[in-house]
């Protein structure tokens, strides 16, 4: 599971897909392709985008939802928790006055 997660995050195009799904979750394949080509000037085929989505889905970062005749891709950031559980984040610095 962890290997799937790190593999999914290792690719810049897949990170861009996650950025776009962060902006709006629940996109069709067409919308994701449009965003990659029009906003990011990524010349990438629909088949290649599908393969990237399959890798993200295997890592649990993207969930595919069938709704009637349509298929939407939702973002799920829950698997990212594994990272901070394995390598905990430093405590956020508190306000000055409350520091003992």
Partner 1 sequence: MRIRLTSVFVDDQAKALHFYTEILGFVKKHDVPVGETDRWLTVVSPEDPGGTELLLEPVGHPAARTYRDTLVLDGIPLAQFAVDDVNAEYERLQGLGVRFIQEPLEMGPVTTAVFDDTCGNLIQIATQPE
Output the six-digit token pair for 11. 């690719």
Considering the rule CB under 8 A, would residue 45 count as an interface residue with partner 1? Answer: no
Token readout for 23 is: 């902006």
Distance CA 31, CA 82 (A): 29
- What is the DSSP-derived secondary structure letter of residue 1? -
Given 34, 51, 65, 74, the residue binding partner 1 (CB under 8 A): 34
- Phi and psi at 46, nearest 5°, equal -60, -40
Choice between 16 and 27, CB closer to partner 1: 27
**Of residues 18, 29, 44, 58, which one binds partner 1 by CB under 8 A?**
29
The interface region with partner 1, picked from 4-12, 31-39, 77-85, 91-99 by CB under 8 A, is 31-39
Q: How far apart are CA 96 and CA 81, in angstroms?
A: 28
Whose structure tokens read 């306000």? 95
**One character per residue 58-97, x = contact with partner 1 (rule: CB under 8 A):** -----------xxxx-------------------------
* Chain residues that interact with partner 1, rule: CB under 8 A: 24, 27-31, 34-35, 38-39, 46, 69-72
């Amino acid at each position: 599971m962890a290997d799937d997660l790190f593999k999914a995050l290792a690719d810049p195009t897949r990170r861009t897909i996650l950025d776009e799904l962060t902006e709006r979750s629940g996109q069709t394949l067409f919308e994701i392709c449009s965003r990659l080509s029009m906003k990011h000037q990524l010349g990438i085929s629909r088949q290649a985008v599908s393969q990237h989505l399959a890798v993200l889905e295997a890592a649990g970062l993207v969930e595919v939802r069938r709704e009637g005749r349509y298929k939407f891709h939702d973002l799920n950031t829950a698997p990212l928790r594994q990272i901070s559980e394995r390598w905990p984040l430093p405590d956020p610095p508190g306000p000055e006055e409350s520091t003992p």
